[in-house]
Amino acid sequence: MRLSRDSIVERFHSYGGEAQLIGGEFERLVVHADGRPLEYDEPQGVRWLLEQLADRFGWEPQMENGQPIALLRAGASTTLEPGGQVELSGRPHETVLGVAEEAMASMGELRTLFDGTDVHLVALGLTPYARIADIRFVPKGRYALMGPYLAQRGDMAHHMMKGTSSFQANFDFRDEADCAKKVDMLTALAPLTTAMFANSPVAEGRDTGLASTRALSWTRCDPDRCGVPPVLRDGYTHEAWVDYLLDVPMMFLKSEGAWADPQGRTFRTWMDRGIDGTLPTWDDWSLHETSVFPEVRVKRTIEVRGADACPLPIALGGIALWTALLYDERALDEAGQLAREFASVGTHNERFMAAVERGLHADVGRPYADWARDLVAIGAAGLGRSRPSERALLEPIEAMTTHGDHPGVAVSRIFAECTSPARCLRRVLY
């Protein structure tokens, strides 16, 4: 069947149901003791890492031009970000405890491989010591096209691609109305999420003075596909979301198995007029959906994206918080009300940049730490009602917001105290 706007919108309306599954995504910076990122082709480098995970732990390698670029196992994947960051995209779980078990198992495998070496897995939102210009892209065809394209769109695009690290999570929705309610709440609270998990104050060997240099890089990457596009600020609908995706210029496409430059054309143009005599398939559409990077992204599920990588207990606490807010109806209503109050103060950009600069120390209307405590209290009550066995996962977030400090506060202190990258990196491990 030939793709059309109507058929894509219809597919979005087919998504949904009563499932309340949770999928965690954990990006990890992999660096040497001196701060150099692990390179793909070096001895015991990223390629070796993927090969060892396949040989020793049962992952199935995915190849491109004869080189491993990803791994699959039991519904989960291990993939590479452009600068060699290693990401676990977990399978859907019924509980956050299942997400936690999977994440810890993945970390255990990586630690086993690097035991006795100078390689560290670092829980920061941005690689702290390496010069971004010195980091080489991993050999994935799409990155060869994305790199030049995004560099023309923003002066920190390569910081985002090669240096940043995050944790994210995926959640179900029942229908369009439920999706809109959740997306609108998450979008309004995106600056607060950024503040709560701000953990990237160091870049290229200096303290930037920012709470989240990672988040700053996203604001200076590509305004067409990053941040909070109007379709999210104006109230989510499936039709508006599809129109947004159809009109974002494509960065890449696949033609006869090879990556090709679409030369700025949109998916709508490809769908309506064809490119070089070809029309897109559903696989092409699925690939295109992965090429936009807003703070909240909708595919078959809702993906929450706006957090720096953090130590695993904090990351899991964040996922537990989002689970409570999205899957407990009372918590969803209360979080929605809080989101509307938060969004009434200033502009979204003002609220977001305050989070970038000061994290939980920001003040827009009232201190961000106060907003965060209110949000966490809503989540704690929601977990207590609907998932009491997972209530304890929220404790690291409660402790953090009680003190009013985002994770990067400790990182700045550690960086100032340490006389070498090796000492600093040992104190910011996953």
Looking up tokens 């990223």, which residue turns up? 46
Helix (H) or strand (E) holding 270: helix 267-273
Using CA atoms, how far residue 203 sits from 160, 211, 411, 423, in Å, is 12, 11, 12, 16
> Model pTM?
0.98
Q: At what angle do helices 348-358 and 368-386 cross, to 10 degrees?
A: 90
d(CA 422, CA 185) in angstroms, rounded, equals 41
CB atoms within 10 A of CB 424: 21
Looking at residue 257, its pLDDT comes to: 85
Could you tell me if residue 35 is left (phi over 0), alpha (psi between -120 and 50 degrees) or otherwise beta? left
Residue 410 has pLDDT above 90, yes or no: yes
Q: Which of 99, 102, 78 is nearest to 20 (CA)?
A: 99
Q: Which of 252, 289, 323, 270 is nearest to 12 (CA)?
A: 289
Per DSSP bridges, beta strands 226-227 and 293-294 are: parallel
Question: Mean per-residue pLDDT for 62-86?
Answer: 98
Q: What is the pLDDT of residues 252-274, one digit of tens each?
A: 999 888 999 999 999 999 999 99
Q: Which of 305, 308, 307 is nearest to 125 (CA)?
A: 308
Looking at residue 1, its pLDDT comes to: 72
Percent of the residues in the chain that have a pLDDT greater than 70, as a whole number: 100
Q: What is the pLDDT of residues 10-68, one digit of tens each?
A: 999 999 999 999 999 999 999 999 999 999 999 999 999 999 999 999 999 999 999 99
